[in-house]
Amino acid sequence: MNVSSQRWILGGLAVLLALVGLAWFLAGVEDARGIVERPDQPALTPTANSSAPRRTQLTEPKLVAPTRTDRADLYTTVLWPLEIELELVEARHRPKAKGAPAAGSGADARLAGTITGAQGEPVPGVRVTFLEGANAGRTLVATNQGRFGANDLYPGLSVLEVRGPGILGSRREVRLRSRKETLLNIPYGRPAAVFGSVYDHAGEPLPNAEVLFDGVKVFTDTEGAFYIAKVAGGPCLVEVSAEGHATERQIVNVASGRVMERDRIAFRLQQASTLELICRDRVGGPGPIQVTLLPSDYSARTFPWYSVNPVLVEPGVPTRVEGLPRGAVRVLGFREGALVAERGANLRPTRPTEVQLTLTEAPKLTGVVTRDGEPVAGALVRMEAPDRVQAMLSFHRRPSFFLETAVMDFPAPALQEVETRGDGSFELTAWDDIAPDRYLEVWGPDNTTWAGRVVKRGERRIELELKELTHGRSSLELDIVGRHMALPISVTVNGQPHAELILPADEPLVIDSLVEGVWRLSARWQARVVQQELLIELDGVDTRPLATIPEIIEGQTAEEWSRAGRDWPGPPD
């Protein structure tokens, strides 16, 4: 074969490969959300979890913008912002039992991160939403510096979604730990290309399998292969499912700017098992039994149990759960006014495994909610243990590392929520044995009225009168003394960073819409402590002086600005 023929063949192969790549790309064109879908396939949406808390948020703390914005008023030679942190220690309005922890005391895990775009620039307005786990429903929003965070999250495993303008988006699993900070920095500047394969239990290529890779959904071709053109670097959550097979869940580390070859990422799915749940008892209710399935083996983490939990079982109606992995599982259940005995099951793909659920009567807490003496229908009633995490561990009879064995929500002894009936009545399971003191709170249907109290051991009947919601109307004014020019400010409230601002010399920093109660204030500048942790009891408007250091008063020199890679602002106008 001569050189000309070789060149012709190589050129033909190059064209053929280019056409195949183009066809592969067109078969999976990404939409604006970064999700690839086929017309004949339903869109994948987050699992609806009826036991997840319905969030009832008070007012969102906010910074009051400076009144003067002229260039002369905003002139400063201070290079770095004064970092102010404000953390709620105890809200005054929430019920508090003597000798018991405050409500939400178990929510002490921290998450912080930064989202950067195509050129490494911060991306503002990105929404980080918890989809599954104990923090389900919580959303954090990135500031104009692309920063997000919170310091009042429940520990354990959570699945979250990252969405925002101009980015690919992501779906990640995070491990949150008590009194520790977890970092989640996602750069979208150098995406990776991912090739992969899916095989069945016999090792044969599996066509038309659904692959959800970091929030991007594609389907395998006839050879069991898939391709995703752009994926953000980092530990990506991947879920692979196919008819007749158990869903496979893995964390795949993707290197930014690289091409992940097909032989590097391969999934082998197992035959699916089926669980049939039957309950003939009609104790408690109304409503179905909420069944939670968890692996008996702590290491069995290759299946996304949150995708099936909770399973809703109506007494007298057999309920089948398909697509489960083989192996030993725990079957736990809950129904208002009833105890559901825990069961174990050994799942096999050969035939369905039947589990009989047994209900016994449990002590109830009943009550009625009124407003101006009239019953209120559709009010949200929430009863929680003072420390949800400890109540959860007590219920499962497991040590603290159990929180990291699966993505799971709180069980009923830790948190129950119901809505009042047409006559304003409600019914809960008492759970005195798990938490002798429990906190009961009620929000009106329009979220503008509220009531709350402590429920003691042995109480069985409660009456609550809704009042106008008056929480979150306090503000803190910080007078940063001694300044003769403006000052860059960075404020974090409960771990959530707010947009940076430039504060004129003669204006105080005002943080508004704060909940009444005890707050902890601290301030730093370039890692130097400006204000040690100071406890402040807020009720209305509180004005406080904040000491400064010479660097904040005098600013930095032109040479220091140059060494920091910043342009010297020059003399004031």
Length of the chain: 573
pLDDT recorded at residue 41: 26
Nearest to 133 by CA among 59, 285, 237: 237
Express as a percent the part of the chain with pLDDT over 90.
Answer: 74
Name every residue whose Cβ is closer than 8 Å to that of residue 253 and which is 6 or more positions away in sequence: 234, 235, 236
- Distance CA(234)–CA(283), nearest Å, equals 48
How buried is residue 139: exposed, middle or buried, by Cβ count under 10 Å (0-12/13-18/19+)?
middle
- Distance CA(161)–CA(132), nearest Å, equals 10
The predicted-structure confidence for 504-541, as pLDDT tens digits, reads as follows: 998 999 999 999 999 999 999 998 999 999 999 999 99
Mean pLDDT within 275-288: 91
- Distance CA(385)–CA(206), nearest Å, equals 47
Nearest to 340 by CA among 276, 400, 288: 288
- Distance CA(237)–CA(409), nearest Å, equals 19
Q: Are 285 and 334 in contact (CB under 8 A)?
A: no
pLDDT recorded at residue 471: 85
Name every residue whose Cβ is closer than 8 Å to that of residue 146 and which is 6 or more positions away in sequence: 114, 115, 116, 117, 121, 122, 123, 124, 126
Mean pLDDT within 557-569: 92
**Residue predicted with more confidence, 547 or 295:** 295
CA 346 to chain centre: 32
Mean pLDDT within 409-431: 93
Record the pTM. Answer: 0.85
A 10 A CB-CB count for 169 gives 21
Cα–Cα distances (Å) from 396 to 250, 408, 557, in that order, read 25, 12, 60
What phi-psi label fits residue 10: left (phi over 0), alpha (psi between -120 and 50 degrees) or beta?
alpha
Name every residue whose Cβ is closer than 8 Å to that of residue 439 and which is 6 or more positions away in sequence: 94, 95, 96, 97, 103, 383, 384, 385, 386, 452, 454, 455
pLDDT recorded at residue 285: 80
DSSP-based three-state secondary structure for 560:
helix
- Distance CA(503)–CA(501), nearest Å, equals 6
The predicted-structure confidence for 311-336, as pLDDT tens digits, reads as follows: 999 999 999 999 999 999 999 999 98
User: pLDDT at residue 44 above 60?
Assistant: no
| CA Rg value for the chain | 28
Q: Are 140 and 60 in contact (CB under 8 A)?
A: no
